């Protein structure tokens, strides 16, 4: 019994720390304030604002109840474990195991507590330096993320894909749908480096290729982003297909350029030009929203004295296939010696180490990467 009590108290301590980090007490106070606000006679005079308030209150209440319920359950189990009754041992073993799994799930949820972490994600892959090798590397990464999504129950929609001249892809734009898609995939944004013997080099020399991955939340609701139609350059083109009936005879694909920021969004997966334009505008709003958010974060970081250079060429992760086998994340120093497993979609450990590092306040530092 004493072993159970020790394990349960450790769980409670861990849970209390997480609840403090998430400010569960402050969120409970926010719920009380919103309840008082919603009881006012004029509350529903602005239906849209009232609905947002009710949604916020519902979301906060679900979160607070989830954490407080877990804490109460642990407290009750501790009281049960302190009873000197051997007949309860089997029941306690089962309950302690259930609670350990519950605390692990809540611990992961604590790492995914950002304002957009629950949202769907947009992921873009762009081939960089390295020519055909880079384009082939881009396709390898595309396959990696498709495998990861499949293994974790996410639905993927390819919005636009540009093939390479000889092999691979120049770029691909994907929507990845499911709870916490952005929360997990935010760890993948940055430059990914591949070192291998090039299959496109007749002399079988070692090549280094770079691919840039961009990730932002797919916010399809109301986004407070003002887009002037005069700032847009809209182009149409034929959607690519696999041939036969899949080849579009009309220019249904849309490419929209936001001139002030040079952000380009292309969508070709919808059936009509109007549908492609609507989806492209949704993606553009999300993209501009994310740019503005990152700009504010960069300004805050500079005020704090941090100097995090996120420029092209500062790789976040290296995948080495020759002369040795390794995948290393340069922000967390986490590495594995089985790159094929990673390229087959086994990314969760890298994502978890990133999220834990983010909570603990690490500063991504892709500098000083040794050449393989």
Q: Partners of 262 in the beta sheet?
A: none
Tell whether omega for the bond before 26 is within 30 degrees of 0, i.e. cis. Answer: no
- When pLDDT is averaged across residues 179-208 and rounded to a whole number, the result is 92
Mean pLDDT lowest among 39-43, 129-133, 237-241, 347-351: 237-241
Tell whether the model's pLDDT for residue 314 goes beyond 70. yes
Each residue's pLDDT tens digit, 77-91: 999 888 877 777 888
pTM as predicted: 0.70
13 Cβ contact partners less than 8 Å away, ≥ 6 residues apart = none
Could you give the percent of the chain with pLDDT greater than 70? 87
| Residue 336, number of CB atoms within 10 A of its CB | 15
pLDDT score at 220: 66
pLDDT score at 95: 92
> Which tops the pLDDT comparison, 131 or 239?
131
**Separation CA 125–CA 189 (nearest Å):** 10
Half-sphere exposure (Cβ direction) of 15: Cα atoms closer than 13 Å: 25
- The CATH code belonging to domain 229-303 is 3.30.160.20
**Separation CA 99–CA 151 (nearest Å):** 25
199, two tokens: 């299959």
**Separation CA 170–CA 339 (nearest Å):** 23
> Which tops the pLDDT comparison, 112 or 150?
150
| Residue 326, number of CB atoms within 10 A of its CB | 16
pLDDT score at 368: 34
Beta pairing, strands 121-127 & 155-163:
unpaired
70, two tokens: 């877990």
Dihedral angle, C-alpha 23, 29, 31, 35, nearest 10 ° = -170
Question: Which residue pairs, CB below 8 angstroms and at least 24 apart, start in 233-236?
Answer: 233/257, 233/259, 234/277, 236/273
If pLDDT is split at 50, 70 and 90, which confidence band does 361 have?
low
**Separation CA 336–CA 325 (nearest Å):** 9
Domain limits, the chain: 2-111, 126-218+314-359, 229-303
Tell whether the model's pLDDT for residue 355 goes beyond 70. yes
Averaging pLDDT over each range in 74-88, 192-206, 249-263, which range is the top one? 192-206
Q: Using DSSP, state whether 201 is helix, strand or coil.
A: coil
If pLDDT is split at 50, 70 and 90, which confidence band does 357 have?
confident
| Residue 202, number of CB atoms within 10 A of its CB | 6
| Residue 328, number of CB atoms within 10 A of its CB | 21
- When pLDDT is averaged across residues 223-237 and rounded to a whole number, the result is 85
If pLDDT is split at 50, 70 and 90, which confidence band does 302 have?
low
Question: Hey, what CATH topology would domain 126-218+314-359 get?
Answer: Alpha-Beta Plaits (3.30.70)
Tell whether the model's pLDDT for residue 1 goes beyond 70. no
Tell whether the model's pLDDT for residue 318 goes beyond 60. yes
- When pLDDT is averaged across residues 11-38 and rounded to a whole number, the result is 94
Tell whether the model's pLDDT for residue 300 goes beyond 60. no
Beta pairing, strands 190-197 & 326-329:
unpaired
Beta pairing, strands 190-197 & 315-320:
parallel
> With left for phi above 0 and alpha for psi between -120 and 50, is residue 69 left, alpha or beta?
alpha
Tell whether the model's pLDDT for residue 238 goes beyond 70. yes
Averaging pLDDT over each range in 170-179, 267-276, 304-313, which range is the top one? 170-179
Place of tokens 């020790």: 6
If pLDDT is split at 50, 70 and 90, which confidence band does 241 have?
low
- The CATH code belonging to domain 2-111 is 1.20.58.410
pLDDT score at 221: 58
- Interior angle at CA 213, CA 351 and CA 140, nearest 5: 85
Burial class (CB within 10 angstroms; exposed 0-12, middle 13-18, buried 19+) of 330: buried
| Residue 66, number of CB atoms within 10 A of its CB | 14
pLDDT score at 356: 84
> Which tops the pLDDT comparison, 165 or 305?
165
Per this entry, what is the length of the chain? 372
Tell whether the model's pLDDT for residue 146 goes beyond 90. yes
Mean pLDDT for the chain? 85
- Asked if 190 and 366 touch (Cβ cutoff 8 Å), the reply is yes
């Amino acid at each position: 019994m004493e072993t159970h009590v020790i394990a349960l108290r450790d769980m409670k301590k861990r849970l209390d720390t997480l609840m403090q980090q998430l400010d569960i007490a402050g969120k409970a106070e926010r719920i009380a304030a919103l309840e008082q606000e919603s009881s006012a006679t004029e509350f529903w005079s602005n239906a849209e604002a009232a609905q947002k308030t009710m949604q916020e209150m519902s979301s906060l209440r679900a979160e607070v109840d989830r954490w407080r319920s877990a804490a109460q359950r642990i407290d009750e189990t501790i009281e049960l474990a302190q009873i000197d009754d051997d007949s309860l041992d089997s029941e306690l073993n089962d309950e302690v195991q259930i609670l350990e799994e519950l605390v692990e799930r809540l611990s992961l949820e604590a790492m995914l507590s950002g304002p957009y972490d629950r949202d769907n994600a947009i992921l873009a892959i762009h081939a960089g330096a390295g020519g055909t090798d880079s384009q082939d590397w881009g396709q390898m990464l595309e396959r990696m993320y498709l495998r990861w999504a499949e293994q974790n129950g996410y639905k993927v929609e390819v919005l636009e894909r540009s093939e390479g001249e000889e092999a691979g892809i120049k770029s691909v734009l994907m929507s990845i749908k499911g709870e916490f898609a952005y929360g997990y995939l935010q760890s993948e944004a940055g430059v990914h480096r591949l070192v291998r013997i090039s299959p496109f080099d007749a002399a079988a020399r070692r090549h280094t290729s770079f691919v840039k991955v961009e990730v932002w939340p797919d916010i399809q609701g109301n986004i407070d982003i003002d887009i002037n139609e005069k700032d847009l350059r809209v182009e149409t083109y034929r959607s690519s297909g696999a041939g036969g009936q899949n080849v579009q005879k009309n220019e249904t694909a849309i490419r929209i350029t936001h001139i002030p920021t040079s952000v380009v969004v292309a969508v070709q997966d919808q059936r009509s030009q109007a549908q492609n334009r609507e989806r492209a505008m949704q993606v553009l709003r999300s993209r501009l929203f994310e740019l503005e958010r990152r700009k504010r974060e960069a300004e805050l970081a500079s005020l704090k004295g941090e100097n995090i250079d996120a420029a092209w060429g500062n790789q976040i992760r290296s995948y080495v296939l020759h002369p040795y086998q390794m995948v290393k994340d340069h922000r967390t120093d986490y590495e594995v010696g089985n790159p094929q497993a990673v390229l087959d979609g086994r990314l969760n450990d890298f994502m978890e180490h990133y999220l834990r590092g983010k909570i603990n306040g690490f500063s991504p530092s892709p500098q000083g990467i040794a050449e393989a």
